Amino acid sequence: MPDSLQSLFEANSIAIVGVSDDPTKIGSVIFSNLRQEHFAGAIYPINPKYSTIFGHPSYPSLLEISTEIDVVCIAVPQPVVEQVIDDCIAKKVKNVVIITAGFAEVGNAGKELEERIAQKLKNADIRLLGPNCLGFIATHNNCNLSFAASTPKKGNIAFLSQSGAFCTALLDMAIPKNMGFSHLISIGNKADIAENELLRHLAQNPKVSVLGAYLEEIEDGRELLATYQNLAVKKPFILFKPGKSNEAQKAISSHTGSIAGSYQTFKTAVSQAGIILAPTIRATLSLLMAFSWLPLPKGDRIAIITNAGGPGIIATDTIIESGLHLASFTDVTKEQLKNSLPPTSSLHNPIDILGDALADRYQIALRAVTADENVDAVLLIVTPQLMTQIEDTAKLVVNTAKLVKKPIIPIFIGGKYVKNGLQRFFDNEIPAFVEISDAIETLKQLVMYSTNTPKLSPAIATKSTLASRLSAVTTSVPTVLSNSLTEELMNEFDIRLPPQKLVSSIDEALSFAQQYGTAVLKAPNEVITHKTDVKGLYLNLQNQDDITQAFNELQQNIAKATGKHPQSLLIQQQMKYKEELFIGANRDGDANVYNGSGKGFGHLLVFGKGGIYTEIYKDHGMVIVPANRQDFLSALASTKVVQILTGARGQKPLAVDQFITTLERLQQMLLSYPLISSFDINPLAITEKEVFALDVKIFCNH
């Protein structure tokens, strides 16, 4: 697909419709921002009331301009916008930016107008940014086509935002910290240009090395993952997405007219794809800054230099908690430190150069650890004592950082006394922190980005012999599959079930038990979906009396709950096993989610400690489909039950390999039958040798 966004962000001619002689109106602010940045192309203010405005020739309408126009920025009231759009089409402009609010975000009438305008522009092959947006800033083109209060310096961060206010707030924090941006793009209601296309466009720009976004709603989940994973040049992508709680989701609907997806699915999916999730605004800023300025660490071995014991301990704790490691220094480093630092210094990691340290001690320690091959990154902690040389220390860190290819992250803990030191770092493009945990969380993300290479999971060959039968029973509301169809599905994907049979008489049940021993009697799924609603499960049936009694009781329970006498009951062999696990899945998006015509992230596979206390333990690993074996293993490693599976307290390890294979097979089932909206296998029994599904419920809908 040709990149049609170049003429927008590298425009040569821009018209602004709605510039007023009142300098405080939005159209006038945009006009003034564009001129102030010395935009080199042609600028055409449009307003029928003036022939010149702020000393610049003004035009009554777009149609009066004789030359080509790359971008038209519209800042007139909502009822006038459509007329201006018609002029844009008549003038054959290339791009339109609609600043005006009052479209999909305010209800159906606005939505209809927005859709009509977007369709008109699409038919005319004109691209649209917005409506309801702040505009954009493309610093390398000296183009500030927004009503933001300030323009950042030229840099390598490209940031897009669904909220204009987030852009301006971010800028207000970023500019004093000297952060440089290539682009700041407010996407508003995304009636045409949305995040995936922008990511592709921005990532292939050599001036962009960090991608960032604030997104309230993801247009197309799977496409976002594929877009990021298929970028020709890998670049870090820092994403901040609100909307975790139901309350926040309501606010989102009224704010942008869009609906947020399920946060857990989103989080699992984007993390699996290697996208970096920022939990807060502060973290967003720190991550953008760190990825923009720092070299990437080659590994996770961290050296700490400190002039205070306490912060050294805090940093050590935080490093361990975060999964990073303290570096073990080489003998050469130890020798150097021993020869040059006071004898009471602590020469192990963290290196404590003592409270009275001047800049020279920092210099000695920093030189030694940056040269050490066992060190991948350095945290340099300063607390301000009376003699502490804040600015000299900052100066030497700046000088050293210019010479080494390892990240050095200063943490200057304090307020008034450390302020100038921090500012010197920002002025020299070094991310610096006051809070230890902020620094380490940022460093952790640098390490993870640098050392993990998430790969697109291989396409999985799919079977679909039961497709037509599944379709036949599927409606738009989730419907549970019958036990017999469930069993066929399990057989197709080699998921072992216990010996089981649908029986319609006590005699049949008894002859099953004669063959298989101790039995379990259950209500079939299609009769009672939730067996806790009614006593629908009888375990440990040892003899004829047990079976007869359970059979009769279960029939009565079902008849009472459903008003119908059940035709058959499910009898199973009672299996012996070591541990109960569970595997479940839930689909984000509809049944077309994998074939390109649907939207969403697809199935989230969840697994962990099973049995009746699953909800209480909440011990879950999660992956988004498709995942590879490594993804499954990493997700399993995040659970507690993995300790039992791998042999806690001298127990023999259980069949972890078969468990992962079971996950892979179930994933294949989901990809083969995307009609499956959710399933639950609980318990999934595991022994030292095998895994079998004791209770399986599968739901389908379109």
Interface positions with ligand COA (CB under 6 A) = 17-18, 20-22, 25-27, 46-49, 75-78, 80, 84, 99-102, 132-134, 164, 186
How far is 670 from 683, CA to CA, in rounded Å? 19
Nearest distance, CB of residue 218 and ligand COA, angstroms: 19
Cα 89 from chain centre: 38
Nearest distance, CB of residue 240 and ligand COA, angstroms: 16
For the beta carbon of residue 304, count every other beta carbon within 10 angstroms. Answer: 25
How far is 578 from 582, CA to CA, in rounded Å? 13
Tokens of 272: 């699996």
Nearest distance, CB of residue 53 and ligand COA, angstroms: 8
Biggest distance spanned by C-alpha atoms of the chain: 101
Nearer CB in complex with ligand COA: 27/152: 27
Which amino acid, residue 350?
P
CA dihedral 623, 629, 634, 637 (to 10 degrees): 100
Nearer CB in complex with ligand COA: 131/152: 131
Nearer CB in complex with ligand COA: 64/356: 64
How far is 691 from 661, CA to CA, in rounded Å? 10
How far is 589 from 220, CA to CA, in rounded Å? 9
Nearest distance, CB of residue 182 and ligand COA, angstroms: 20
Nearest distance, CB of residue 284 and ligand COA, angstroms: 18
Q: Which of 228, 229, 134 is nearest to 183 (CA)?
A: 134
- With residue 22 as reference, give the H or E element that holds it: none
Nearest distance, CB of residue 50 and ligand COA, angstroms: 7
Residue 458, preceding peptide bond in cis (omega within 30° of 0): no
Cα 546 from chain centre: 52
Cβ contact 83:113 at 8 Å: no
How far is 683 from 695, CA to CA, in rounded Å? 6
Nearest distance, CB of residue 638 and ligand COA, angstroms: 38
HEC readout, 132-196: CCCEEEEHHHCEEEECCCCCCEEEEEEEEECCHHHHHHHHHHHCCCCCEEEEEEECCCCCCCCHH
Cβ contact 59:98 at 8 Å: no
Q: CA–CA distance from 603 to each of 59, 65, 270, 597, 701 (Å)? A: 54, 52, 13, 16, 13
Nearer CB in complex with ligand COA: 103/601: 103
Nearer CB in complex with ligand COA: 99/302: 99
Cβ contact 608:614 at 8 Å: yes
Nearer CB in complex with ligand COA: 60/647: 60
Which amino acid, residue 17?
V
Nearest distance, CB of residue 71 and ligand COA, angstroms: 16
At 388, give phi and psi (nearest 5°): -60, 130
Nearest distance, CB of residue 321 and ligand COA, angstroms: 39
Nearer CB in complex with ligand COA: 27/407: 27
**DSSP letter (8 states) at residue 409:** E
Nearest distance, CB of residue 235 and ligand COA, angstroms: 26
Helix (H, G, I), strand (E, B) or coil at 640: coil
Nearest distance, CB of residue 81 and ligand COA, angstroms: 8
Nearest distance, CB of residue 254 and ligand COA, angstroms: 14
Nearer CB in complex with ligand COA: 84/660: 84
Residue nearest to ligand COA (CB): 164
Which amino acid, residue 317?
D
- With residue 343 as reference, give the H or E element that holds it: none
Nearer CB in complex with ligand COA: 76/654: 76
Q: Which of 182, 232, 231, 169 is nearest to 208 (CA)?
A: 182
**Angle subtended by helix axes 309-322 and 436-451, to nearest 10:** 40
Which amino acid, residue 544?
Q
Nearest distance, CB of residue 91 and ligand COA, angstroms: 13
